[in-house]
Amino acid sequence: MTTALTVRTEELSVRFAGVPALDRLDLRLAPGKIHGLLGRNGSGKSTLAATLAGFRRSDVGRVLIEGGDLGAAQEPYENAVVTSRVCLIRESGDFPGTVPVKHALRLASALRPYWDADLAGDLLDRFEVPLNKRIQKLSRGKRSALGVVVGLASRAPLTIFDESYLGMDVPSRNLFYDMLLADYTEVPRTIVLSTHLVGEVSAMLEEVVILDKGRLVTQSPVDALRGRGASIVGPAAVVDEFTAGFTVLGEERLGGTKSTTVLGDLDPALLAQAAAAGLEIGQVGLQDLFVHLTGAQS
């Protein structure tokens, strides 16, 4: 049984040729949760993932990892005790291309103190990754699946998937999400899913970190974030009247019925007024909030 790790960053900045990819980030990733690391292309997700995993050094500020069998806070960079407990899976795979899959698995099992060989075998079967094929001969999707197998079977107390599953087709991604949830329930650990496919992963996430141009836009439990908006459904004219004055995130129409997504708190008096007017109030989708907060186009 592994013990989940806590991650903190203090004023974390990483620059490339003087240009900040991460700009003074103060974060805390609570242990034993599934965190979404969300941001548009170039927002700094991969840089943050690599810095948390100790692949990259910070220019200013620091990353601290603590809890579990690590105890007191330690920095991951050039720290083998920490990095053996942190598994970062990137889309590139980071595997040597010339060796067969089974060699890569042997290497992973030697490096990972919580490796579960039975789980690795089961996942390889489910994703149909051939053991004897050289990694460079695998299709992009199967290479991604190998990354996912290693990431899950490592059972690392901090596991980060940096868009590692994007090369997989939809059925394989759905299998990944199912296997991740099942194994996380059995062996809770701190999971970070970096993605811009917000709609696909939103049901799994407990907390989100949203980055934009290297800056922290928000860090929040998903429910609290969803509570920052609402969808109002009902006859179009009534919806329009009710939502006048709110910031509108999106609108959809089906015949005379309209659904408008708004930002802002709806207090109990307003909710009662909406119900009396025959309107239905629902939760706002994470994707809509993400688009609004980052100025992205859906």
Ligand X SMILES: Nc1ncnc2c1ncn2[C@@H]1O[C@H](COP(=O)(O)OP(=O)(O)OP(=O)(O)O)[C@@H](O)[C@H]1O
Summarize as ranges the residues that interact with ligand X (CB under 6 A). Answer: 16, 21, 39, 41-47, 196
Q: 214 or 229: whose CB is closer to ligand X?
A: 214
How far, in Å, CA of 160 to CA of 133, rounded?
26
Shortest distance (Å) from residue 78 CB to ligand X: 19
Shortest distance (Å) from residue 213 CB to ligand X: 8
- Cα dihedral 33/39/41/45 (nearest 10): -40
Q: 44 or 151: whose CB is closer to ligand X?
A: 44
Three-state DSSP at 88 gives strand
Shortest distance (Å) from residue 25 CB to ligand X: 12
Q: 61 or 121: whose CB is closer to ligand X?
A: 61
Shortest distance (Å) from residue 120 CB to ligand X: 27
Residue 38 in tokens: 């969300």
What is the Cα 225 distance to its own chain's centre? 15
Question: In the beta sheet, which residues pair with residue 247?
Answer: 263
Shortest distance (Å) from residue 226 CB to ligand X: 23
CA distances from 229 to 165, 209, 292 (A): 30, 17, 11
Q: 41 or 297: whose CB is closer to ligand X?
A: 41
Shortest distance (Å) from residue 161 CB to ligand X: 12
Q: Which amino acid is at 267?
A: D
How far, in Å, CA of 112 to CA of 119, rounded?
14
Residue 59 is given by DSSP the state: S
Nearest to 187 by CA among 147, 150, 155: 155
Nearest to 77 by CA among 62, 89, 91, 92: 62
Q: 197 or 266: whose CB is closer to ligand X?
A: 197
- Edge-to-edge, what's the strand order for the sheet holding 280-283? 247-254, 257-263, 229-235, 280-283
Q: 39 or 151: whose CB is closer to ligand X?
A: 39
